[in-house]
């Protein structure tokens, strides 16, 4: 899987060995990546999900990687993570998720990473639709999804549902 580059960011595939290092020793992860890893990473959602992600990847270690680590090029710091909740379903739909550490928020990094990943995904023949969910009061995430060209479909419980279709 390829590394993705933007003006300010490098998105590195979050491989099995990197995930295992993230669980066991963040200092090792930083050494593997050649960057600093802030205490605020991973966020609670990713920290909770990492063991499940590792277990799933161990079942098929040669399978595709659907998530990336977000590296700030200038600062050489891991500032977040982004990816899909697995590969595309039968209709070619994937759900995107992302997180930026608090000290790097509100600077456009999430938007930059989301735009890069959407562009990458739509180069894949099998991906036709990208969806997202965000809490209805998460103003920052709502702005990211709007800037990325996603359309809000409505509200389900406390969640706003978003999607963008590949231009055919």
The domains located in the chain, with CATH, are 4-165 (3.40.630.30)
pTM, two decimals, is 0.94
Q: Is the pLDDT of residue 64 over 90?
A: no
Q: According to the model, what pLDDT value does residue 12 have?
A: 97
Contact yes or no for 122/113 (Cβ under 8 A): no
**pLDDT digit string (tens) for 28-62?**
999 999 999 999 999 998 999 899 889 888 888 77
Q: According to the model, what pLDDT value does residue 85 have?
A: 86
Identify the bridge partners of residue 109 per DSSP, sorted by sequence position: none
């Amino acid at each position: 899987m390829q590394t993705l580059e933007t003006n300010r960011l490098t998105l590195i595939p979050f491989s099995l060995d990197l995930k295992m290092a993230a669980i066991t020793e963040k200092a090792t992860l930083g050494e593997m990546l050649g960057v600093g890893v802030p205490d605020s990473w991973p966020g609670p959602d990713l920290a909770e999900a990492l063991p499940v992600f590792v277990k799933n990847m161990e079942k098929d270690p040669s399978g595709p990687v659907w998530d990336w680590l977000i590296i700030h090029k200038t600062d050489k710091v891991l500032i977040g993570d982004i990816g899909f909740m697995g590969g595309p379903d039968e209709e070619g739909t994937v759900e995107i998720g992302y997180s930026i550490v608090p000290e790097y928020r509100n600077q456009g990094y999430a938007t930059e990473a989301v735009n890069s990943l959407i562009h990458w995904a739509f180069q894949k023949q099998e991906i036709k639709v990208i969806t997202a969910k965000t809490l209805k009061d998460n103003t920052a995430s709502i702005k990211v999804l709007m800037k990325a060209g996603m359309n809000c479909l409505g509200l389900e419980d406390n969640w706003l549902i978003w999607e963008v279709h590949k231009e055919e």
